[in-house]
Structures are given as structure tokens and as C-alpha cells.
Amino acid sequence: MLKKILIGLVALVVVLLIAGAVVLMIVDSRLAGAVSAAGTEKLGVETKVETVNVDPLRGEVHAATLTVANPPDYSDNKALTLGEFNVDVTMGSLLSDTVEVALIGLKDLHVRIEKSGDGNNFSVIMGNLKKSEEDEEEEPENEEGKKFIVRTLLLENITAVVVAPIVGELELDVAERIELNDVMSDNAEGLLLSELTGRIMPLIMSAVMNKLSGIADLPAELVGMVGQLGGDLDGVIGAMGGGVADLVNSAKSQVLEGVLEDAGGAVGNIVEGVGEGLGETVDDVVEDTVGEGVEDAADKVKEGIGNLFGE
């Protein structure tokens, strides 16, 4: 009798384990499909997620290799690739209408900007995003689907390459780390997955553009493109509302801090050498020679970015 009970218990455990594995596989595939569909809907180009894994015991969701395709008439390369993203979520909230997310971590982001003629691939994508936002404003408010409340968004290791006919390829290390808090501060009830996806793209593009604007002697071919992207991004931010503008400005300041640190180290080394050679103090050299250069660089940045940040 005892033996039969033990066999029955073991069989029950096996059935539960198999059922749990099947449920997780279904959840994983549905999440991957949901993220892919949300990205495609917002950006107007094919967005894919290869794998999504859910760990219910730790309250974690891990996805690997997200890709955003180029628009038509551009290369077969991906406009954006994301190595992995991790989500720390309160698992109990997955069963409710509003999912509480403590952290979304995006790692190994790579952006490929392609210039072709008078346009570029991300002007097309940002135009699609802006149109999507405007279409949603005209439609009755849709409350269907889960909403997400995100406390912190962390972006790590952002790189980019700019491809243009004359310049060729320009590779950029954009930022090692950007941390944004209160991502949903302007919408306490949370955002739909498609809305959340739409918010992330302007943050990434603003980081890349600020890195580009900090390059001394940026080729004229790219200065015009930066200005064009600035106008596109400004339009998207305006369509999305003030909350996105605040996030973009926060990301901007963190990227510019890195740009200034890099430039400051190089300028410091040059000034120190000049000061020793000419018998001048470092302060004198900075005041007399670097100041004018910084002002000129600032003017170029403003010209390229336009009124992107409303300044």
C-alpha cells in the first residue's frame, strides 16, 4: 500500500513538473511574440526577439537578441540589435492587469545609421514612430492588454556605426551606462507594451546623436544628417508628451558628461604640454586658447541639433 502511495506521489510530481515546463514554454513564446509585435507595430519595421526565458522563482525575465530591421530601400543589415535585456518583475503582478517592473536592463545595444541620398534609415523609423503616436491620439483610448509600471531603465554598452557615401563608416562608443529612474512618472497607471517600446527608441537615438554632436570637426555630410535626425526626434518627443522629453534630457546629460570627460582628458594633456613648453600656466592656456574653441564647438552642436531639446 505504502509503495503504491509513493509511486503515486512520484507520478504526481512528474506530471506537475511537466505541466510547469509546458506552461513556462507557452509563457516564453507568448512573451517573445508580444515583444516582437509591439516593436513592429510602433516602429513600422520588422522587430524580432529570438528567445525569452521566464524564471518565476526569481521574478526575472531574460531575452536574448532583439533585432530591428532596416526600412525598405536600405541594406539588409539590422538598424538596431540588442544583445540581451533583463526584467526584474514582481511575478505576482503578472497575473494582474498592471505589471510592476523594478528594473529593465538593456545590454549591448548597437545602432546602425545609414545615409542614402537626402535621407537616412532612422528618419524613416522615427517617422513611423511619430505617425503611430499620432494615430493613437486620434483613435478611442484602448485599455486592452497588460500595462507596465517601470521604476528604473538601465542601458549598458551602447555603440553605433554611421554609414555614409563620402565618409564611409564612422564607429562610435556612445555610452557605457545610462540609468533612468521614474520611467513611468507621467503615467501612474502604467503603459501598454507597445507604448513602452516606443519610449525606448527616442532614448537610444538621443544618446547616439549627442555623441555625434560632441565630435570635433564632424564631416559636413554628417552635420546635415544630425540636424535632420534632430528634427525627426523632436517631432517624436512632441507626439509622445512631456514624460518622454524629461527622460531624453536625463539621458542627454549622462551622455554629455561622458563626452566632456573624454574631451577634458585630451584637452588637459595638450594644455599641460603647451604650458610647459611656453612657460605659461595651464589656466592661462585654457583661458586664452581653449575657451574660444569650446564656444565654437558649442555653436556647431546647437546648429546640428537644432531645437531638439527645446533650448
Whole-angstrom distance, CA of residue 61 vs CA of residue 190: 18
Average pLDDT over residues 233-259: 73
Q: What's the pTM? A: 0.70
* pLDDT bucket at 124, cuts 50 / 70 / 90: very high
Domain positions in the chain: 2-305
As beta bridge partners, residue 172 has 160
* Highest mean pLDDT: which range of 51-55, 87-91, 171-175: 171-175
**The cell 539590422 sits on which residue?**
78
**Could you read off the pLDDT of 17-39 as tens digits, one per residue?**
333 333 334 344 566 676 777 77
Q: Residues in the chain, how many?
A: 311
**Could you read off the pLDDT of 271-295 as tens digits, one per residue?**
344 334 334 433 443 344 334 444 4
Instruction: Look up residue 135 and give its amino acid.
Output: D
DSSP string, 153-174: EEEEEEEEEEEETTTEEEEEEE
15: number of CA atoms within 13 Å, CB side?
6
Whole-angstrom distance, CA of residue 41 vs CA of residue 64: 20
